[in-house]
Amino acid sequence: MDNSTKVPADLPEVPVVIGYIDWLYSISDPRVAEWPLMSSHWPTLFITFSYLGFVKYGPRVMRHRPPVKLEPVMIGYNLGIAALNAFISYNSFVAATRLGYSYVCQEVVYSNDPEELRMAGTIWYFYVSKIIELLDTVFLILRKKNSQLSFLHVYHHATMVVFWYIGARWVAGGSAFFPTMTNAFIHVLMYAYYGLAALGPKVRRLLWWKPYLTQIQMGQFILGIYFGVQSFFVPCRFPLWMKHGFIIYMASLLILFANFYRQRYYYPAKNEAGHDGERRSFDAAKKRHLHEKHH
pLDDT at 281: 43
Q: How far is CA 213 from CA 87, 189, 193, 261, 277, in A?
A: 20, 8, 9, 10, 18
Instruction: Find how far residue 227's CA is from the centre of its chain.
Output: 17
The answer to whether 134 and 51 are in contact (CB under 8 A) is: yes
Count of Cβ atoms closer than 10 Å to residue 76 Cβ = 11
Residue 279 has pLDDT above 50, yes or no: no
pLDDT at 123: 98
**Residues assigned a catalytic role:** 156
For range 236-258, the mean pLDDT: 95
| pTM of structure | 0.84
pLDDT tens digits, one per residue of 85-137: 999 999 999 999 999 999 999 999 999 999 999 999 999 999 999 999 999 99
Specify the 3-state DSSP secondary structure of 287.
helix
Alpha helices in 27-144 (DSSP H): 42-62, 71-99, 114-132, 135-142
